[in-house]
Structure 1
Amino acid sequence: MTVSTDDIVRHAARLLFAGTRLDLGRMAAELGISRTTFFRRVGNRDELMGAGLRLLSDRTWQQALDRWHAEHGDAVRDPAGRLRCLWVMEDYRREVAGNEGMRKLFETESTVALRVLTDPRGGVQPALVDAHVDLFRADAEAAGLTPLVPLPDLAFAVVRLGESFLYSDVLAARSVELTVATTLLDKLVQGALER
């Protein structure tokens, strides 16, 4: 059986989700391929970690969208009037903050994790910004809102501020305060999307 790049990335994502350190030599052996083939397919450890974390991030984002849809269908607002994008963003942050694998990664490799997660040329942050842009655009159109700033700029600000709170224990030796993050990010998005 041929082991594809996607197979390797999925394996890395499973290990990261479980809180297991990525040991590329061990992974190559587990998958039954040579180290040379392994590196040729996925690059270095940071690149593989980025691909695995992006896969986990994409899945977590999609799961948040699916939970919204299960609770509210195609509505753009919940019964209290809160925009879908605000709900999805909060659900995503809560899932990331509560993930044991992510906590373990930050306990053991905080510098590498931060570098990989927040690299503007990496796989994780740009994909998350794009996901926010798509959701902001859909919500603005469905709710008849006019963005006061370009949506990529709003999405970038939201993602960066969200990272500041999600990783505040590592970045600033502060406890992670998701309620404060939700309040600030909700106000930022509501202020940037005008009726």
Structure 2
Amino acid sequence: MRTAAGMLLQGRRLDTGTLAAELGISRATLFRRAGNRDAILGDALAHLGARTLARIQREHDERPAGAEPRGRLRCLSVSEEFRFALGTAPALQRLLDEEPAMAIRVLTDPEGLVHPRMVEAYASLFQRDVDEHAFAPLMPVPLLALAVVRLGESFLYSDVLAARTPDLKTATTVMDALVTSVLRFDQR
């Protein structure tokens, strides 16, 4: 997975024959151990996404107190930075440009490796704010995470999905409105 992720970051097409050769194994062994190209690509993309999100969260938490706009939730700032990181990632853009149908399938498949991991990561991100602020969400946090991830995908990949230029600023406005309307203080 790390070798596959490295190939993507280097701007190389993920080819299972090349990957197997670099690992010093046969393609059959690669397939038995890691699955087909979609599975390998999904695992590599999920790894890169998780690494990027973890870095953004770490950097956010290291900022001095008061660096955040007054009243803005941590989860909203982190998710915005994450969307912009993905939206400007050369490796992801190259994949979307060169193999759009395969990229969308791997990135958004609810049974794949990327989408479920992103939903889980967003649920953890939201749950931290829920716990820290004693929110009483109007819907289950995992369902909110699913909605936000799907909405984010529609904005992030809008050039492929709907022949529209991605508008990440509008995505931030819409998602901030959704999340802040669902995460509320416990009124008990």
Q: TM-score range by the shorter chain?
A: over 0.9
* DSSP 3-state at the match of 1:141: helix
Deviates more, 1:181-190 or 1:35-44: 35-44
Q: Which runs of 4+ in 1 moved over 6 A?
A: none
SS in 2 for 1:33: coil
State which of 134, 137, 149 in structure 1 corresponds to 2:127. Answer: 137
Structure 2 gap ranges (5+): none
1:49-68, aligned counterparts within 5 Å? Answer: 49-68=41-60
> 1:28–1:38: 8 Å Cα contact kept in structure 2?
yes
Aligned to 2:10: 18
What secondary structure does 1:149 align onto? coil
Letter in 1 for 2:21: A
Equivalent in 26, 36, 48 of residue 28 of structure 2: 36
Match of 2:19 among 16, 27, 50: 27
Aligned to 1:47: 39
Unaligned stretches of 5+ residues in structure 1: 1-8
* Residue aligning to 1:168: 158
2:71 to 62, 77, 81: 81
- For the 8 Å contact 1:18–1:100, the answer to whether it is kept is no
Give the TM-score, by structure 2 length: 0.94
Shift of 1:17: 2.1
3-state SS of 1:191 partner: helix
Check whether the contact 1:17–1:99 (CA below 8 A) recurs between aligned residues: no
Checking the alignment, whether the CA contact within 8 Å between 1:145 and 1:193 is kept in structure 2 is yes
Per-residue deviation, 1:42: 0.6
Are residues 1:112 and 2:98 paired? no
Q: How many residues were matched structurally?
A: 185
TM, length-normalised to structure 1: 0.91
Shift of 1:72: 4.3
Aligned position for 1:3:
none
Indicate whether 1:93 and 2:83 are aligned.
yes
